[in-house]
Structure 1
Amino acid sequence: MTTLVFVHGWSVTNTSTYGALPARLQQQAAAQGMGLRIADLWLSKYVSFDDAVTMADLVRAFDHALRDLHLTGPSFACITHSTGGPLVREWLRAQRDRPGAYSTIKLTHLVMLAPANFGSALAQLGKGLLGRLRSWFDGVEPGQRILDWLELGSRESLSLNVDHIHGPDPAARGQFLFALAGDRPDRSMYDHINSYTGEDGSDGVVRIAATNLNATHAVLSLNQAGANSDVLALNLTRAPRTAFKLVPGASHSGEAQGIMTAAPAATVDAVLRCLRVADRESYAALCDAFDAENAQRDADKVELEPVGPFPPRVHIHDPRSLLIVRLSDEAGEPLLDTRFLFAAGSPPNPDWMPHGFMQDRQANSRTPNVISFFLNHALLAGDARVADPTNSRRTLRPVADGRRPYAARIQPTILAGLVHHAPAATDPADDLFAALGPHQTTVLDVVLPRKVHEGVFRLTQNFAPEDFRRTDPGPLIG
């Protein structure tokens, strides 16, 4: 078997984070006739807890560390956890874009456990006071620059992911990517001050949809110059297909349920299935198998959490969607004072959206025109009655009717002046639901026309002094 490199996640300060996974992989690989020796295994130790370190620094250092391995073969495989996933993906992009500056060693298999590919809602909190206090008690810094990358909707993460969506299929060049995600938080690790640690649709740290590379780039913009400036057409681009697997009962971390630290049998089995992929045909077959297994998990989606002497707390593990909206105009200027509203039905009405469809929203702290919406895909699609698994006659949730088509309204707050924007809405022929996928992320660029009036620049033959501080905006420039 090829050399196997393990890469941990953000804020790790000890290689104990890898838990029993390397040893169990070696044992199971031997039992299945896959040669995996200790000499083939390497554990990464990288510093993310220094505020000066950037993702680009880690990429350069990772490349340098690989050169020092003096591998006997021309390729290697990598197993990552959390931030390790996007780190290695950034290295792959740097290797592709700057072939003379980076090692030519080939990565054949990238198996990402709970990867923060689109970031984490927790990153914004890690940059705040509570995160700094925790780091101070641990004797380290928060790792501000890495947290900048990890914040939902960051420029850096969107650059990598939109590049992936529009890029070539890695499997076509013999490079196989896999994303494995735990399907629930570890309830024993719930932080009562921070509800994100118990958020349904996440593994306690990263939202499931944010791990999945089967993503979509959507654009809402004018169809053509001179078209109705109030109507925005929807255009979609889908990412190359990537193997994605839900690991039932696993969480982001922890010795009991951690997808890596606890090394549950389901994780070990899934990783070895990934490493056995040898070509595009076997990769496609594994994608199909994972999809079927995910569908079985989604059908068995009720979790009853024990609450001492009280009735159990009900968690319905519906598929969620992460929608990252970037609001800008045709000149690339961010729209900071603009509202994005969802609407349902015909004609579209915001009051008709399904109850509970939006679980959370968070604006990026550095680019506040980028807003991440965490949506319940099952409620938007419509869902059957959910029964109590211990008593099928008891209804936990009645039938949820989908209310398609879904639309969006964009409402700028500045509607007049020399330069401004006008309210707009999606084309009635489009359904915004088409841009969403279960357990998937969609990056939605909303591009409004920029209304520039004639009064911005005029010529005159009047040589008498003329004050134009309060000029009439005049008509729009065509």
Structure 2
Amino acid sequence: MGRQVAILHGWNDSSGSFRKLERFLGSNGFDVANIWLGDWVSTDDDVRIEDVARRMQAVIRELQARGELADSFDLIGHSTAALVMRDWVVRYHPDGQGCPAKRMLMLAPANFGSRLATLGNSFLGRATKGAKNWFQTGREMLNALELGSTYQRDLATRDLLDPDGVDDGPYGPDRIWPFVITGSRGYSNPTRRLLNEDGSDGTVRVPAANLNSSGITVDYSENTEVPTLRPWHSRTGGATVPFAVLPDRDHTQIKFPEDETGAIPEISARLGERILEALGCDSPGQYAAIAESWRAGSEETAALAADSDRRRGLFRRRAPRIQELHRYLQVITRVRDEQGRPVDDYFVEFFSPNARSDAALLRFQTDVLDHVHVNKLDPSVRCFYVDRDDLMHRFYRENTGDRQLAASIVAADPGRNTHYFDQQIERGRGHLLLHCDREPERAALGAQRLHRNATHFIDIVIPRKADDRVFKLRR
């Protein structure tokens, strides 16, 4: 194949780690002379993702002007490189037209952050990862990678979701074709095993990699009992981005399609097959077919959790645990008052409307909700990590009645002169039905879908009221 390919590394990595991928492509018909390996600064504190994207554009133009880089090429990026690629696209090709990269393959991308970003920015992270770089680990880069970061939200609302209108973005059948491949296997190395989290590849959660996200604005400012719901428009033109979850790959192994992973060849070969499928896509119809095929494959990965005999038979060494194969989701909430100011002191409670008891609440906390992260730079943002399989098969099973999930928000008053929601309520509270498992009831109740392996944005607007004594007129 004569088409050129550029490969970009992630945070705290270098182009040298992609020599194996380069050789794999060469052995499958690609001309190695046409493969570019990019290097970029990721661990200096002053460099932002935007800086890398701007410099990337300048380098591409320089190489194309000299006739060294083709007018059309493919992009492959690992981990943080996916954010660099997306930033480059929305900055210079926001409608997807005229972009030299028709195919963008993302390997274990941190599209919606990584739990480890906070660790990298900590004293421990600087003492270990930054020891060879004057104790710098890329503060700006890690701030963008933190769960629920403002950067991720701004980027997503430029290329994936539109909270306010119906504008399309750069991706879709007649525009740029992104592909996402990620693993659900944690690290096997004893030292790195401490970083593992169920439903992740040891560094990036499966739902944080998936570009097929959704969003909604829930506005209580006019009616605290029945909020106004404004679903966000998808910018992909209704297209599903191909997304593959592999059961035998961790965050490092996803870069090496020919490496042994402990799985039988049938499973181990899937990474290489998916990479070649993405780079070989040549029509909108094929793009849609790949999305459906990869979706079915991801469901096969999840099905291994319920089939212990098959799970053990597919792996020569330790088979994945059931929880590693569960399908998770992220819910990212951001709360503002009706004046647009952030609300930091609030609590979100998940419950079944049919069984709102202390026992039911405890079951959700222990069986379904795996982790809650408060963003360090914007405490009005929370990232909830939910085990969707346990929601469906454990929490719903133990609660009688309709299979529904609701949430309430409680916000502490700003002070003695102002309060949220109604003054008669001791602490402001609003309710929202998040999920209903059955379609007729879901439509009638206005509930949203909580998709497996996906990230959901929920922007919440709450009323802010001033007491009578704040302003008076007297004769």
TM-score (norm 2): 0.81
- Asked if the contact 2:60/2:69 (under 8 Å) is kept, the reply is no
The one-letter code sitting in structure 2 at the alignment partner of 1:346 is N
Cα gap change, 1:231 to 1:57, in 2 (>3 Å): same
CA shift, 1:328, in A, is 1.6
**Which of 163, 182, 205 is equivalent to 1:207?**
205
Structure 2 gaps, min length 5:
260-268, 313-317, 422-427, 437-445
Q: Which moved more, 1:294-303 or 1:243-252?
A: 294-303
CA gap of 1:339–1:2, structure 2 versus 1, over 3 A, is same
Q: Distance in 2 between matches of 1:17 and 1:437?
A: 34
1:118 alignment partner AA: F
Which residue is 1:442 aligned to? 456
Q: Would the aligned equivalents of 1:190 and 1:198 in 2 still touch at CA under 8 Å?
A: no
| Alpha-carbon offset, residue 268 of structure 1 | 1.9
CA RMSD, aligned part only?
A: 3.0
> Is the 2:120–2:129 contact (alpha carbons within 8 Å) kept by the matching residues of 1?
no
CA distance in 2, matches of 1:251, 1:238: 33
In structure 2, do the counterparts of structure 1 residues 49 and 261 end up closer, same or farther at CA, with 3 Å as the change threshold? farther
Residue matched to 1:474: none
Of all paired residues, the percent bearing the same amino acid is 26
SS across alignment from 1:356: helix
Equivalents in 2 of 1:152, 1:68: separation in Å? 35
Residue 146 of structure 2 is aligned to residue 151 of structure 1: yes
What is the alpha-carbon distance in structure 1 between the residues aligned to residue 12 and residue 298 of structure 2? 30
Q: Give the match's secondary structure for 2:204.
A: coil
Q: CA deviation at 1:74?
A: 2.5
The residue identity in structure 2 corresponding to 1:202 is S
Secondary structure at 2:371 match in 1: strand
Q: How many residues align?
A: 424
Mapped to 1, the partners of 2:412 and 2:71 lie a distance apart of 57
Q: Residue in 1 aligned with 2:77?
A: 80
Deviations 1:428-447 (A, max 9, x none): 69759734111111111121
Corresponding residue for 1:284? 288
Residue 9 of structure 2 corresponds to which residue in structure 1? 8
1:334 to 323, 342, 362: 342
Higher deviation after alignment, 110-119 or 327-336? 327-336
Return 409-418 or 140-149, whichever deviates more.
Answer: 409-418
Instruction: Tell me which residue corresponds to 2:112.
Output: 118
Shift of 1:339: 1.0
Go from structure 1 to structure 2 and tell me whether the alpha carbon gap of 1:93 and 1:350 turns closer, same or farther (over 3 Å shift).
Answer: farther
In 2, the alpha carbon distance for the partners of 1:281 and 1:98 equals: 20
Distance 2:247 2:117 in 1: 25
Q: Does 2:384 match 1:404?
A: no
Pairing 1:49–2:43 present:
yes
Contact 2:218 2:460 in 1 (8 A): yes
Distance in 1, matches of 2:371 and 2:332, equals 12
Q: What is the letter of the counterpart of residue 213 of structure 1? A: L
Do the aligned partners of 2:216 and 2:459 also contact (CA within 8 Å) in 1?
yes
Helix, strand or coil at the partner of 2:390: helix
Gaps of at least 5 residues in structure 1 are 31-35, 305-309, 385-397, 462-478
CA deviation profile, 1:63-85 (whole Å, cap 9, x unmatched): 11111222564221100000000
Task: Report the equivalent of 1:293.
Answer: 297
Aligned equivalent of 2:133:
139
C-alpha separation between the residues in 2 aligned to 1:331 and 1:360?
Answer: 30
1:259 paired to 2:260 = no
Other structure's SS at 1:137 match = coil
8 Å CA contact 2:434–2:450 kept in 1: the answer is no
**8 Å Cα contact 1:114/1:259 also seen in 2:** yes
Q: Could you tell me which amino acid in structure 1 is paired with residue 168 of structure 2?
A: P
| Alignment partner, residue 456 of structure 1 | 470
Deviations 1:224-283 (A, max 9, x none): 83x3x2443544336432110112301101xxxx10046553222111101111221111
Q: TM-score, normalised by structure 1?
A: 0.81
Q: Which has the larger radius of gyration?
A: 1
2:104 is paired with a residue whose SS is strand
User: Does the alignment pair 1:425 with 2:419?
Assistant: no
Pick one of 260, 271, 278 that aligns with 1:274.
Answer: 278
Distance 1:208 1:453 in 2: 46
Contact kept, 8 Å, 2:178 with 2:242, in 1: the verdict is: yes
- Aligned partner of residue 354 in structure 2, secondary structure: coil
Give the C-alpha shift of residue 97 in structure 1: 5.1
Shift of 1:296: 1.1
Secondary structure of 2:161's counterpart equals helix
